[in-house]
Structure 1
Amino acid sequence: MDKIDIEKLNRENFRSMMNALSRPGSIEEIKPLFKSNLLAVANTLLYAEVSYFYKGNEDFELINAITNSKELSENEADYVFCDKLDEELFEAGKIGTMKDPEFSSTYIFKCKNFEGIEVKLSGPGINGSSNHTLPISKDFIEKFNNKNSTFPMGNEVFFINEKAQVLALSRTTKVEVL
C-alpha cells in the first residue's frame, strides 16, 4: 500500500483551486484522493468548523472521519458537493449577507468534461473578457448571475472533470451566453 501525504496533497490541491478561482475560466490540475477527484477536493476544503451537503453516490464516510465536518441540509451547508450540475441545489444555497458575505455556500460539481455552452466571462482575474465552454445550462447562468448580482454576497462554483482538472467561477465573475 502506497503512503499518502494528505497534508501535502491538500496544500497542492488548495493552491490549484485558488488559482482556478482567481483566474475564472482557467483550468488547473488536482490530485485524486482514494481514486476520487471529488473526495480530494472535499478533504481539502472540509474541517471541523465547517459544514457540507452531498448529493451523489461517492462514499463520504472516510472524509467524515478525517475532517470531522458536519453534514447539514443544502440550504444551510458551507460547501455543497454534487455528482452533476443541479440547478435546484444551486438555487437553494445561502449567499451570505452584506455584513457577513463569507456565510455563503461554495459549490463543487462533478462533470465529465468542460464542454457545453459557449460563454463569455468577464470580471476580476480576467484580462478584459474571455470565451470558454462550460458544462452548464442557460438557466444555470441566469441563476448564477442573479445570485451574484449584489457584491459581496454570492457563491463560488467549482467544476471538477474526470481528468482531475478544476475550473472555477468566482462570485465576481460575469457570465454571458454567446
Structure 2
Amino acid sequence: MIKVLFVCLGNICRSPLAEAIFNHQIQKLNLPHKFKSDSCGTSDYHIGELPDERSIKCANDHGIKISHRGRQLSHADIRDFDYIIAMDKSNRSNIYKLMDTYSQTHDQIHLMRDFQPNNSESEEVPDPYYGGEDGFEKVYQILDESIKELIAKLQKEHQVYA
C-alpha cells in the first residue's frame, strides 16, 4: 500500500481538502485498496477541529466529502508515509526540521505544485484562510490538477492499476 500525507500549517484548509480530493480521485480509479492518505499540520493550532467551513463547502460543491479532524505532524508520520506533500516552502522546511532530528533523507518530501502541469505561477499552494470563498475555489483547482498528476506519477512509478 502506498501512503501519502498532505501537510499544511493548521490542517483545516489546504491539506484536508487535498486529502479529500486524493481519496475521491483514487475511488474513481477503483484503487482505494492500493493507497492510503491522510493530512496534518505542522502547527498545533487546530488539533481535533473539523476543517474550515469554507473547505467543506468547496469540497461539497465539487461532490467531495471531507471526513477529517485536525492533527499535528509527528515523528511516526515521517517513518510511516512514503510520500509527504507540503503545501508551501515554510511547511516543507518545518517537515525537514522534524526529519533532521532523525538524520533521514528528504527524498519523500515534495511540494504539491511540483506535480501541477504547466505551472508558472508559484511553487506554493496559497493559504486561503484569511480570504473569501474564491480563494478556496482557487486552491481546489490547484489541488485537483496537481493531485491528478501525482496519482499518475505514483501509478507509473509503482505499476499500480485497477
Of Structure 1 and Structure 2, the greater strand share is in: 1
| TM-score normalised by the chain length of structure 1 | 0.28
Higher Cα radius of gyration? 1
